[in-house]
């Protein structure tokens, strides 16, 4: 049982479980799945300023804050008690390519050679973590939602803007992974 919980789940198990959140949220109160909106709700709850973007009834969306808190707490529990002792398995061709950039440690979900406190204050670290974080936040706001909101909830509701956003997310991911990331890693 421990191996089942700590090991990676196949797509045909994890995918349907994620997909079932959509009808579950709709049945439990006509709620929309999405993570990026929780930051707006948290800011509206904590910032008493007169910023128009935060002037709405955030209490109506408090369930979303509990949902995201559950994700965070679940991540802490899994990171502490359900850690898979094996290295993350990646394709041999990818491992060879990443080794050319000095990335060889796959003992964590994110390569420790790339994301750690020592590299945070380098040019590569600032571009990857700070710049990447800014672009994710900006993109979520500009697209009116994050990948989970558009690709899971929006597509299941047959929303054309979510289809456009998801296609753009995928194109951006392909361009980033194949063209921009190698340039950043070679710094």
Contacts (Cβ under 8 Å, ≥6 apart) of 31: 25, 63, 64
Rounded Cα gap, residues 13 and 4, in angstroms:
12
Cβ count near 24 (within 10 Å): 11
Rounded Cα gap, residues 108 and 80, in angstroms:
12
Q: Where are the domains of the chain?
A: 1-83, 115-187
CA dihedral in degrees (177, 149, 127, 172; nearest 10)?
30
Q: What are phi and psi of 91, to 5 degrees?
A: -60, 140
Contacts (Cβ under 8 Å, ≥6 apart) of 148: 33, 34, 35
Extract the tokens encoding 109: 């979900």
Cα Dmax for the chain: 54
Name residues of the chain where pLDDT drops below 70.
1-2
**Cβ 50 vs Cβ 38: under 8 Å:** no
Please tell me the predicted confidence (pLDDT) of residue 66.
92
Please tell me the predicted confidence (pLDDT) of residue 119.
86
Extract the tokens encoding 132: 């990447």
DSSP 120-177: HTSHHHIIIIIIHHHHHHHHHHHHTS-HIIIIIIIHHTT-HHHHHHHHHHHHHHHHII
């Amino acid at each position: 049982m421990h191996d089942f919980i700590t090991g990676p789940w196949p797509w045909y198990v994890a995918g349907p479980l994620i997909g079932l959140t959509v009808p579950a949220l709709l049945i439990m109160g006509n709620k929309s799945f999405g993570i990026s909106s929780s930051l707006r709700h948290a800011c509206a709850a904590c910032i008493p300023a007169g910023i128009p973007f935060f002037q709405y009834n955030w209490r109506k969306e408090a369930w979303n804050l509990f949902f995201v808190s559950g994700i965070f707490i679940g991540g802490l529990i899994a990171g502490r008690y359900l850690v898979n002792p094996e290295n993350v398995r990646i394709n041999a061709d990818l491992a060879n390519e990443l080794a050319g950039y000095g990335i060889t440690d796959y003992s964590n979900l994110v390569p420790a050679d790339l994301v750690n406190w020592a590299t945070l204050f380098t040019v590569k670290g600032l571009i990857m973590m700070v710049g990447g974080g800014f672009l994710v936040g900006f993109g979520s706001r500009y697209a009116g939602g994050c990948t989970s909101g558009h690709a899971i909830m929006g597509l299941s509701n047959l929303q054309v803007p979510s289809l456009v956003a998801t296609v753009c997310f995928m194109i951006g991911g392909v361009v980033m992974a194949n063209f921009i990331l190698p340039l950043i890693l070679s710094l």
